[in-house]
């Protein structure tokens, strides 16, 4: 059984995406962290819409709660990280 799929918020597609970036267990996700895992997923599949909800889901998986039940301050923090990454990515592509 895939250990990741036993985590809340992690279904078959997310588990597959995590496996593709070298994350196979909860411990792997803890070591990498939800934000870095989310970035790696976005980089691995740039055409895929890996929205901030996916980042919330990864954080929620580690906390054992549904992504939409994350405390508001955690959501705001994660969203600001996601927004900063998106702005950086846009600037890099504009300079190509």
- Predicted TM-score (pTM) of the model is 0.87
CB 35 within 8 A of CB 26: no
H or E segment and range at residue 20:
helix 12-20
What is the rounded distance in angstroms from the CA atom of residue 83 to the CA atom of residue 89? 10
The topology (CATH level 3) of 4-94 is DNA polymerase; domain 1 (1.10.150)
Per-domain residue ranges of the chain: 4-94
Dump pLDDT digits (tens) for 25-54: 999 999 999 999 999 999 998 877 788 999
């Amino acid at each position: 059984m895939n250990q990741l799929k036993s985590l809340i918020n992690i279904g078959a597609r997310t588990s597959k995406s995590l496996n593709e970036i070298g994350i196979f267990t909860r411990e792997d996700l803890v070591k990498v962290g939800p934000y870095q895992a989310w970035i790696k997923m976005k980089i691995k599949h740039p055409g895929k819409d890996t929205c901030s909800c996916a980042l919330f889901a990864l954080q929620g998986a580690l906390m054992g709660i549904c992504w939409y039940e994350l405390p508001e301050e955690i959501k705001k923090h994660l969203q600001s990280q996601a927004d900063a990454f998106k702005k950086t990515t846009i600037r890099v592509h504009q300079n190509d």
